[in-house]
Every structure is written in C-alpha cells, then in structure tokens.
A and B are shown apart, each in its own frame.
Chain A
Amino acid sequence: QKEVEQNSGPLSVPEGAIASLNCTYSDRGSQSFFWYRQYSGKSPELIMFIYSNGDKEDGRFTAQLNKASQYVSLLIRDSQPSDSATYLCAVTGGSYIPTFGRGTSLIVHP
C-alpha cells in the first residue's frame, strides 16, 4: 500500500515568513510529485509539480525533492494571509493514479 504522509497541522506562520510544508512517501518507485492547494469549501488546485531531485521555483513557491530520503517539501516565501489553506501532497508511481496525503492546514496570521 503506497502511503503519503503529511503533518495535519495547523501550521501557523506570521505574514511575511517562510512556510515550510513537508511530505514523505513510502514507495521508492515514485516518479512524480505534486502540491495542491485547497481553500476551505473549495476543490484542490494544482500549484506545483516536480519530477527531478532538487529545487523547482515558481514565484513565491519552491518545491524541493529528495528521492533518496523520500520526501518532498513546499516552501512559501513571504507568506500572505491569502495563502491560508490546506496543502495536499500527491505522488505517482508507475501508474498515473496519484496517491494523496491528508493535507496540512496552513494559517498565515497578520
């Protein structure tokens, strides 16, 4: 059974700080890694994906992947109250069906 683990939180950070969200996965054959953002009462929205070891930056977001340690993280720089949401980590392996973590709730307070 493939597992994707996330700390449920909530993770609380002050406005302007860096928020660090972490995800670990059990399947060493995992190939693709995704971060979705889900606002309360809304559906998940894809914000980042990463396939190779290292960092991938997109605006204020950086995804970091370490396949040897089987973790993927999402850094949000200059956090804003509008970043307050639940962040879902998703991982795919040989099939194209992602396995989702349960999500980490992020609260950015002014």
Chain B
Amino acid sequence: DVKVTQSSRYLVKRTGEKVFLECVQDMDHENMFWYRQDPGLGLRLIYFSYDVKMKEKGDIPEGYSVSREKKERFSLILESASTNQTSMYLCASSSQGAIYEQYFGPGTRLTVT
C-alpha cells in the first residue's frame, strides 16, 4: 500500500510567519504534488516535482515555494503566511510507470490568524 504522510493534521499560524509543511511518501515515487483545497474551488495545484531538486509551478504558486532534497520528501513553504492561505493542503505522489494515478496524504488544515 502506498503511504503518503504529512507532518501535521492541523496547524495554526500567525500572519507573517514562515510555515513549513512536510510530505513523505514510502513508495519510491518520482512525482510529488502539493494542492490546496477550498470549498467551492476544488483542488488547485500549487507546485509539483518530478525528480529530486526539480520543481514546476502549478496553477497558484504565488506566496509559496517548495523544496525536494530527497526523493521521498517534498516540502511546501509559505514564506510569509497570510490569512488567505488558510486552507486544506494536500500532498500527493505518483510513480513514473503510472504517473496519472495520484495517491494523497491525509491533508493539513492550516489556519492563519
């Protein structure tokens, strides 16, 4: 079974703080993704990575950055958290052999006050 884990289920941060969200997968997947999910807006892609140290912007990268130093770990960084970044953040991974089939982590509900 693919396992994708995220560092926190719930997180509360203050405006202006730097926030790190961590994602780890244990299936040696090449591809990893960060999404945010908001009511009425669905899943929106923030960044993705298809290899170590490689990253590509998704649909809404503004205000975010990412880091992938090891194959199994993909971090999302909010450089200066703002209230409009309050959301559910979902990490996903997929293999090169089945690149379309994404497996999601449990999500981190981030609240920025």
Contacts and interface: CB of A to CB of B under 8 A. Distances in A.
Asked whether A and B interact, the reply is yes
A44 B42 contact: no
Given A96-B99, A97-B48, A97-B58, A45 B41 contact: no
Interface string A6-37: 00100000000000000000000000101000
Interface string A33-49: 01000000011111001
Contacts of B12: none
A34 B100 contact: yes
Contacts of A42: 106-107
23 contacts: A8-B40, A42-B106, A42-B107, A43-B90, A43-B105, A43-B107, A44-B43, A44-B104, A46-B102, A46-B103, A49-B101, A88-B42, A88-B43, A92-B100, A96-B100, A97-B33, A97-B45, A97-B58, A98-B100, A98-B102, A100-B43, A102-B42, A103-B42
Interface of B: 31, 33, 40-43, 45, 48, 58, 90, 94, 99-107
Contacts of B33: 97
Interface of A: 8, 32, 34, 42-46, 49, 88, 92, 96-98, 100-103
